Amino acid sequence: MYLCDNMDFLDIIMSRRSIRKYRQNKVPEGHIKKILEAAMNAPSRKNERPWHFVLIDKREILDAIPSFHPNSKMLFEAPMAILVAGDLNITRDIFITIDCSAATENILLAAHALGLGACWLGVYPDEERVNGIRKILNLPDNIFPVSLISIGYPDEGRSQVNRFEENRIHYNKW
């Protein structure tokens, strides 16, 4: 059974890689909508769905983020990024990061299924990154930045690596 046009679901999971080099082609709005639909279908505690998404495609914002987020230099090439943030008015506990991380993973998988590349850039718990994102995107106090994802058409190969490690599996006890 195929869930996607070109790949089966397990192939999507197994072949997804972090992409750090992008072509400048704009990501179609239809793809962005599908990616966000996938994000909003992530599981969340008590179905609270505390997430908000900020779409970033202004070059001056993308180019400024690496000044406070040193691992985000791929934003110089990426045509866009998506911030995943949680609403502290909905939930204030650790589950906000877990719920937003589930949405982030769905973004990565949906982007890959659509032929796009993406890279998860951690924001939380680094205070400098959290504060930098809050400031540059003018986030309200109740919106808590969790992760940033660069997205675009890959300008690098995707090598498939077998990452399965039998020695990390334990049955019933350690």
What confidence tier does 160 reach under pLDDT thresholds 50, 70, 90? Answer: confident
Residue 164 located in a structural domain: no
Q: What is the 3-state secondary structure (H, E, C) of the chain?
A: CCCCCCCCHHHHHHHCCECCCECCCCCCHHHHHHHHHHHHCCCCHHHCCCEEEEEECCHHHHHHHHHCCCCCHHHHCCCEEEEEEEECCCCCCCHHHHHHHHHHHHHHHHHHHCCCEEEEEECCCCHHHHHHHHHHCCCCCCEEEEEEEEEECECCCCCCCCCCCHHHCCCCCC
Nearest to 52 by CA among 91, 18, 80: 91
pLDDT tens profile 43-52: 999 999 999 9
Residue 70 located in a structural domain: yes
CATH code (residue 36): 3.40.109.10
- Domain total for the chain? 1
Predicted local distance difference test score (pLDDT) of residue 2 = 44
Predicted local distance difference test score (pLDDT) of residue 55 = 99
Residue 163 located in a structural domain: no
Residue 169 located in a structural domain: no
Predicted local distance difference test score (pLDDT) of residue 1 = 40
Domain ranges, residue 105: 16-155
Residue 114 located in a structural domain: yes
Average pLDDT of the residues in 99-121? 98
Average pLDDT of the residues in 88-104? 94
Contact 68, 45 (CB under 8 A): no
Q: Average pLDDT of the chain?
A: 94
Residue 11 located in a structural domain: no
Residue 160 located in a structural domain: no
Residue 167 located in a structural domain: no
